[in-house]
Structure 1
Amino acid sequence: MKRYDLWKLSFLNVLTTPMRSLLTVLGMAIGIGAILAVLTLSDAGQIQVQSEMMRLGIDKVWLTAQGDRPLTHGDAALLSQTLGTPVTEQVYCPLVFHREGREAAGVLVGCGKEYLQLMDSQLLSGRELWPLEWEAGSRCVLLGENLARELGLFAPDKPENGKISIGGALFQAAGVVRQKNELSQVDPTRAVFMPISVFCEWMGSTVHELTISVPPDTMPQAVAAMAVDAMQRKEGKEVQAITMQVQIEAANRVMGIFINVLKWVAAVCILVGGIGVMNILLVSVRERRREIGIMKSLGATSGQIRRLFLLEAMLYALVGGALGVLVGFGLVKIAGNAIELQAAVQGKDIGVVVLAAMAVGLFFGVAPASRASRMTPVDALRE
């Protein structure tokens, strides 16, 4: 029996039972589509998470107190002088803000003008605080965009309408800002920013966080280590330094675990599809005993019978793999739109899943093919 005849017979046998073949192929296609979607979305998700974190501030180091001794205003000046780079301090507390019968919950943040520069703030309306207002401790504040909307202050162009009540005291809302760098312990869209001198005089709070700007061509980890060492040697304070690299590594570890779980789930789906192929072929072997007996009596070898059923298994796998690629494209499109993720199916991923489908089909086709090849003409024709 020639190879062409084997391919022709296997193809005709698959087409003989279209509904059975369709259900078998669908089982394989779902598994292939699932693993293709997982591979594509996981790659795109990792890239987007890393790029977002890089945008949020890879050139920043954050310091927080760990021991009994809190951070102070003098620590910012000490670190700035020691490291030769800008250091700004922040203090904050949750509050409810009021204006003309409206109220909105948010966070009051005491900071310097350098903090807003480090956080890459953008002025949306109104004006920025003047340097003299920062230094002299003026009762002017800047609002985050969401909080400003709730208080009706998104465009505070009239001074008499731009006053808000903070803890019973009136402050002038000078402008509305948006922080492009949102990595902070507070939600910048619901924050009110005031000069830190006014905050500490009024609220009596210590410094919660120091933000260090990392100079160009300098490793953030090196700056973090120097800052921790300087605080321990000169001030005797225990501090924790947080860099974006640490956050990226932590995010990658968490995402890696999640992705591996999804890959195992998708792999199980493919195995289920492979078991479906094996089950259908075993049924086919039982139903075609007479056909196998006739073929052997006419001179077909056991090897040719084995290859015939292996080819059928490969056909199921190839068609299932092709449909699975289409299913994967659909899943990537739907999931990408749902979670606003720019994901594109890569050629290497298509190759991986198609090869996986063929391998699964070949593996699960061995048992039915071996059973068919071991039949003797006498036993096969007897039934």
Structure 2
Amino acid sequence: MKTIKRITLWAMTFILLFATHSYSQNIRGIIKKKTEKAIDKTIDKIDGKEKKDKDTEEAVATQEHKPVSNFINGNIVFSDDFNNEKHGEFPSKWTQMSGTMQNSQIVAQGKKEGVVQFVTSGRMKPSFKNDDYLGNSFKIEGQFYFHGKGNEAYTLNLMNTKDVYRAYQITIRGDGIVPAGTSSQYARMPYKSPFPGWRTVQLSFNKGVLKVLYNGYQLINIPVLKKSEDKHITEFTHLEVSALSRSGNYGAMINHITIGHKGLPLYKKLVAEGRIVMHDILFDTDSYFIKPSSYPAIDRIVTMLQDNPKVSIKIEGHTDANGSKASNKTLSENRAKSVMYYLINKGIAKNRLSTVGFGEEKPIDMADNEEAWAKNRRVEIVKM
């Protein structure tokens, strides 16, 4: 019996010693890891390797960038994604009103893309010959970047040169929308959006009804837009975009702006922009015979010229870069002439029309893929 007790005592002592040794090893391991981390951090500071603020252009490259949905499905009045711009220059499709802006390039999810960067706070507007292109029914879509540092904001200024008191502002913040610049009407997102990151804003205006979507959520729905009881707003003339930007690594950035106008009359678009880009006038490959499916598009031009007898136009032909430059130039000239002869056969006087073919000389998309080629194959109608 005594022997059994002695054996039990020795066994318990051995287990206790082993457990104590293991516990000590664990404690020493934890202390060692913490010490090594502290030493590494100190070395990083000494070597100047301490991590920089996340909100640098390098950090922008890692942010999730959701593609813009097909929100605008009517006639596109204006569109710019800043991809075909020279780094450091002012965006070519815009007019500077105040502040300093420049084209820049960032990398999002491994893909390079263009942005316009506000070096300082400022305002700019799409370049049109005539600031009267919005009217009473239009849509605006854009993407805006937020660093989550301090007082950041963008503003879509819906202007009205016919009545300055009927202009309206939509201010975009990191977590919502402020209509007409009043904080009392601050419409916030139902969840906290991550910082830093892009925000997609989609605005729809139709004869006084204003709706604004923020990352897919409808935050603004105003059935009768007004500033006071006697000043209902039913139309606007043009758009101006402004940004409140901080210096250094926290500059405001926009990577996409599109303006669409459902059913915009061709004449109004021609006057506002000086030209109409027609992607729905189609030809067979290496052919200048117009496809029958293109007739409705050209008939719209016929109607515009009949309704505006003092207007003369130049028809420009453009191709993609497939094939030789010489053959593409000849093809584009013949396609422009085909459109002219169609218009003449519909009763439009020849002295109101002229043609030119540029071949592949003036692409609107520099990418080397089918989507870009389709954009570059086009006919443009230019006001003389």
Q: Into which bin does the TM-score normalised by the smaller protein fall?
A: under 0.3
**TM-score with structure 1 length normalisation?**
0.20
Larger strand proportion, structure 1 or 2? Answer: 2
**TM-score with structure 2 length normalisation?**
0.20
Structure number with bigger Rg: 1
Structure with bigger RCO (C-alpha 8 Å, 6+ apart): 1
